[in-house]
Structure 1
Amino acid sequence: MIRSLLGFLPWIAYAVIATSDNWRYGAIAGLAIAVAVTLADRRAGKKWDEMVIESSAVGFFAVITLISFVDPDSPLVRYGPALVNAWLALTTWGSLAVRKPFTLGIARGMAPPEVWDTPLFYRVNAVISTVWGAAFTIAAVTLAILLHGSPHATVAVVTIKVASFVIPGVFTARYPKAVAARHAS
């Protein structure tokens, strides 16, 4: 589980480092960490379906790094935290749209192979991915509105960002156990 959370490290680094004055550094740090995590995971034998968030991070940070150098005063700077959540929401909803919830590959690394192809295993991961997608979407919209009206509301931004990871993270840890207990009876 801890290893799976490393996929979020580039996003966290960007959130911490990227302020309106040094978003370039946040973008570069996010890209460097995303590439390093992706390469390390591939060398460790991870399959691409286990690395949806990591792969998505490489794409996002490549684009943001490019924008930060081509147009350092881009109006996007102001909306960095919302853009992160919007990108993660798109990644999540996209994985669900193609019927490959982003949590599926991660869950396969933690579950016995005999359950991988069961409808229940898929359903649990679809629900978990939906919760992540909803959290990212709500955070993206909330942050965009907040940053538009109050660009210096740092405490609120941090609170929303943390909640958008913690709430679905807690759900991810608890939901499969609840489903397993319900189906064990």
Structure 2
Amino acid sequence: MLVYYVRTFLPWILLAVISGWSDQAGALAGLVAALALFADDLRRGNRLESLVLELSTIVFMALLTALAFAALDAALMDYGASMSIGWLGLTAWGTLLIGRPFTQGVARRDVDAEIAATDLFKRITTVIAVVWAVSFTVMALVLADVQHTAPHNTALLVGVKIAGFTIPAVFTARYPEIAQKRYFARHGIDRGIAR
């Protein structure tokens, strides 16, 4: 799962790093990476339902690239970090709102159809999506404030991003097993039989 998230967020990482020198180059690098990763995912046979974040990334990077080249000195570009994380938050909340958390498609890659159809699987992936959505939202708001009040405080900006991604990533790695144990205990299911 960690490899998935690092790979998925690579365009955002490139955007953040390269935009330090040039907004245009950062946005374009993010867009190229997003398109390349999406093409690779399709080549590997991944279904579109598991590529929600990737599709959302392409849309955002395309819009940001157009803005970066059309309005070279746009003040909005000063809030690139908070805009990008805010976009991820909107994506996560949107998938929850329509009842198809982005995490379901991702997690389905690692389980068979029988497990993916269970209520437990759906609850676990929904809770994980909520945690990511909250983290993205809080991170976007904090980043917007830092970018407004202390835009040159790089250490704080990086610290917010690290915390904002690490907390939900650790939760994502640990929560499924915890939820399964609770479910099995509550229903008197022997884990050896359930596997």
Shorter-chain TM-score tier: over 0.9
Q: Rg: which structure is higher?
A: 2
How far apart in 1 are the matches of 2:3 and 2:175?
A: 19
Shift of 1:110: 1.1
For residues 100 and 116 of structure 2, what CA distance do their matches in structure 1 show? 12
Preserved CA contact (<8 Å) 1:7 1:51: no
Secondary structure of the residue aligned to 2:72 is coil
- Which segments of 5 or more consecutive residues in structure 2 lack a partner in the other structure? 186-195
Paired amino acid for 1:9: L
Instruction: Write the deviation string for residues 105-138 of structure 1: whole angstroms up to 9, x where unpaired.
Output: 1101112321111111111111100000000000
TM-score scaled to structure 1, two decimals? 0.96
Structure 1 residues 38-57: Cα deviation after superposition (integer angstroms, max 9, x where no partner): 01001110011111111111
Alignment correspondent of 1:120:
120
- Aligned-residue CA RMSD (Å): 1.0
CA–CA distance in 2 between the matches of 1:131 and 1:2? 16
Output the CA distance in 2 between the equivalents of 1:68 and 1:90.
Answer: 21
Preserved contact between residue 85 and residue 136 of structure 2 (Cα < 8 Å): yes
* Match in the other structure for 2:14: 13
1:60 counterpart = 2:60: yes
- Secondary structure of 1:138's aligned partner: helix
**How far has the Cα of 1:178 moved from its partner?**
0.5
Residues paired across the two proteins, number: 184
Q: Distance in 1 between matches of 2:126 and 2:72?
A: 38
- CA contact under 8 A between 2:131 and 2:168: conserved in structure 1? yes
Aligned to 2:43: 43
Counterpart CA distance in 1 for 2:123 and 2:68 is 39
Tell me the alpha carbon deviations over residues 118-164 of structure 1, each in whole angstroms, 9 at most, x when there is no partner: 11111111110000000000010011111111111110000111111
**Within 5 A, what are the aligned runs for 1:93-172?**
93-172=93-172
1:32-78 deviation digits (Å, cap 9, x = unpaired)? 00000001001110011111111111000000000000001011121
